[in-house]
């Protein structure tokens, strides 16, 4: 089976940088996705890494190291609207995603 670990909560101030780490154990790894979910809302796709390295999409970047079974999501220039839960998800054999428990990010003024 698959297992993912990410911190449960992170607090930061507006304008700061936050890094959310995700370590995983899986067989047949294809890639790592990141999703954002505001309270009471639906998850929305943020980014995907299949190869080692950094992928940048605006203020958000995602990194993957396949050899370390590790990835992270970097949130830069934090805004109040970034307060949400962030989930990493592993794509492995079986055409499905397995999600981590989520990291709640609280942005303070």
80 and 109 Cβ atoms separated by less than 8 Å? yes
Given the complex with another protein, which of 5 and 77 has the nearer CB atom?
A: 5
Please state the closest distance from residue 15 (CB atom) to another protein, in A.
Answer: 27
- Dihedral sign of CA atoms 88, 90, 96, 98 in order: negative
Please state the closest distance from residue 81 (CB atom) to another protein, in A.
Answer: 18
Residues that bind another protein (CB under 8 A): 1, 30-31, 33, 41-45, 48, 87, 89, 91, 94-102, 104
Please state the closest distance from residue 95 (CB atom) to another protein, in A.
Answer: 5
Given the complex with another protein, which of 17 and 30 has the nearer CB atom?
A: 30
Structure tokens at 5: 């670990």
Given the complex with another protein, which of 42 and 80 has the nearer CB atom?
A: 42
103 and 8 Cβ atoms separated by less than 8 Å? yes
On the CB side of 22, CA atoms within 13 Å amount to 32
């Amino acid at each position: 089976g698959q297992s993912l670990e990410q911190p449960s909560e992170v607090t930061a101030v507006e304008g700061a940088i936050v890094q959310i780490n995700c370590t995983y154990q899986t067989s047949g790894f294809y890639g790592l996705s990141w999703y954002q979910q505001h309270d009471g809302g639906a998850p929305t796709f943020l980014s995907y890494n299949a190869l080692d390295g950094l992928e940048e999409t605006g203020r958000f970047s995602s990194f993957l190291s396949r050899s370390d079974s590790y990835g992270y999501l970097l949130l830069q220039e934090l805004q109040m609207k970034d307060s949400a839960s962030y989930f990493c998800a592993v794509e492995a054999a079986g055409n499905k995603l397995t999600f981590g428990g989520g990291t709640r990010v609280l942005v303070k003024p």
